[in-house]
Amino acid sequence: MSTDLKAPGAGVSLRRARPRYGERVVEFLLFLAAVLSVVTTVGILIAILEPTIEFFAEPAVNAWEFFTGTEWTVLFSEAQREFGMPTLLSATITTTVVALAVAIPLGLGAAIYLAEFASPRARKLLKPVLEVLAGIPTVVYGFFALTFITPSILQGFTDVGTFNMLAAGLVMGVMIIPTIASLSEDAMTAVPQALRDGAYGLGSTRRQVAVKVVFPAAISGIIAAIVLGVSRAVGETMIVAIAAGNAAHFGFNPLEPGQTMTGFIAQAASGDQPTGSIGYESLFAIAAVLFALTLIFNFFAIRLVRRFREEYE
Amino acid sequence: MSVTTQARPTPPPAPPPGPILTGTAHDDRPLERGFKVVLFACLAVGIIFLAVLLGYVLIQGWPRLDANLFTNQMSRLRPETAGGQAAILGTLWIAVLTTVMSVPVGVSAAVYLEEYADKTKWWNRSIEIIIQNLAAVPSVVYGILGLGLIVRAPLNLGPVILAGALVLTLLVLPVVIISSREAIRAVPPWLRDGSLALGATRLQTVRKVVLPAAIPGIATGSILALSRAIGEAAPIVIIGGAAFVTFNPTGLDSRFTTLPLQIYNLVSQPQEEFRTLAYALIIVLLVILLILNSLAIFIRNRYQHRW
């Protein structure tokens, strides 16, 4: 009697009816698409390392000179060649410092304004406008620095030449404002409202809440934003290639022209160096230094971003 | 006992009804106001810079914004009527090729990471970290990758359109993956569960439920990634896009130039006419980017679903 009464669905196996090979194949193809990023990374490493190793194997090159020398004349004739990478590094540091001097105060100021002071409507309008700055092609920035910032603005104040690191750095700073502003604003809006309310209840003004509560609470995200900004400034190519000139010399005076690591890569590559020549190999050696630098910065920034996300979620 | 009920001292008057007094009541002190003004000024500097930049570009390029720009080729002899047809077509070729290659691969990778990957496995976590790192690698490094592996041996394609598009595909792929993942993640789990409960397989759920719901977000992200590819000059300079191209691209193996590259090459020309021409080409480039971005915003506002 009761054996005739079956619960509905009983006896129907919930296991899949038949193996679905098609699904497995598609899943594997999707996996391959994801693995392409690993292939790209390995590709970058191989592309950079092989010529770099050959570069250091050249009899004319010694590693000590490469890391300490202050002359870089690789594209000169054979007798005059010097391989001091710090020459290019000094220009990279100079333009990056100028850019950060612009982008850190302006970017953080804008971020605090957007996160703590702007009305929701104003934020919705102003934030995208600010982010347009990140969408302008860098070649446009470079051209603007060369044909407007230097002759129409800088030369009114100081005695700078057509090419100088100051104009390149200033424009680069404006370019990375959105990077810093946007990420720091995210970090600040992630700070729980309860922290603000507590401070307001104790009689703090908006300024005090912003400076003494929200800013410290968001500091790891803000540092991550700045580190990413540094990484962008170090890797930026077109602005410095156009506006800073291509005379490589060691020095940190932003009023002078200078050639950064990226600027050298662009100049050497446009010169169509034959494969295996020392000029061609030096390009990759500089790229190796650049890649290592930005990788360290990015790794650091990504870890910081993860940390502040975990804290409040 | 006579109880003389003395009048109790009157209680203090109740505070007037109104907002609770907090620190924000002092927000109109000079220091507070000054702080707010300074912050707004920080934001304003960026916006004013943008306005000056766009205004200057328009004024400088306007005189040459004519039909010659689109119908003529670069000419060293007649800069006043030279155009950028090859560069404009090159940019369009690169844009189409990069989209065709990067979007399918990028979306596939995003689907794998969001819908299939087991996050407890180390290889899946490594892929995520690698993609995040790749998104922040400077574009010049992708140029080096292209020069070292694609343009010269082992692939040995030469500095042709296909090589340029491949480099830009690798460059934008992390951006496409990250934005597609966000779009897929925004699809609520109950949609998937409903589909699976009705007996659909995982793949059917992805194809018929998840992807259609995520398409507006994927499209927006892909268009923004594409506009980044179009504006890039550094990787193309490094793989050796040609400097003075006076012919239109004819196929994947054709040498080419693009708008940013053409603009860069005009920098070193001494004549004033070339500078004006460069600004006119910048206007064309910015208009293309403006159209793409408006399209992205339009798609986001028109089709984006809030669950």
- Does B238 reach chain A within 8 Å, measured CB to CB? yes
Q: Looking at CA atoms only, how far is residue B127 from chain A in angstroms?
A: 7
Q: What is the pLDDT of residues B48-94, one digit of tens each?
A: 999 999 999 999 999 988 888 888 888 877 888 888 899 999 999 99
Q: Which member of A46, A262, A299 has the closest CB to residue B149?
A: A46
pTM exceeding 0.80: yes
pLDDT in tens, A215-253: 999 998 899 999 999 999 999 999 999 999 888 889 999
ipTM of model over 0.85: yes
Share of chain B above pLDDT 90, in %: 61
Chain B residues touching residue A129 (CB < 8 angstroms): 47, 50
User: Hey, which residues 88-147 in chain B have their CB within 8 Å of chain A?
Assistant: 105-106, 108-109, 111-113, 116-117, 126-127, 129-134, 136-145, 147
For range B232-236, the mean pLDDT:
93
The pLDDT value given to residue B302:
84
pLDDT digits (tens, 9 = 90+) for B164-221: 999 999 999 999 999 999 999 999 999 999 999 998 988 999 999 999 999 999 999 9
B41, B45, B233: residue with CB nearest A138: B233
Task: Indicate the residue of A33, A47, A113 with minimum beta-carbon distance to B108.
Answer: A33
Chain B residue closest in CA terms to A112: B39
**In the 3-class helix/strand/coil scheme, how is chain A assigned residue by residue?**
CHHHCCCCCCCCCCCCCCCCHHHHHHHHHHHHHHHHHHHHHHHHHHHHHHHHHHHHHCCCCCHHHHHHCCCECCCCCHHHCCECCHHHHHHHHHHHHHHHHHHHHHHHHHHHHHHHHCCHHHHHHHHHHHHHHHHCCHHHHHHHHHHHHHHHHHHHHCCCCCCCHHHHHHHHHHHHHHHHHHHHHHHHHCCCHHHHHHHHHCCCCHHHHHHHHHHHHCHHHHHHHHHHHHHHHHHCCHHHHHHCCCCCCCCCCCCCCCCCHHHHHHHHHHCCCCCCCHHHHHHHHHHHHHHHHHHHHHHHHHHHHHHHHHHHC
The pLDDT of residue B247? 84
Q: How many CB pairs under 8 A join A and B?
A: 269
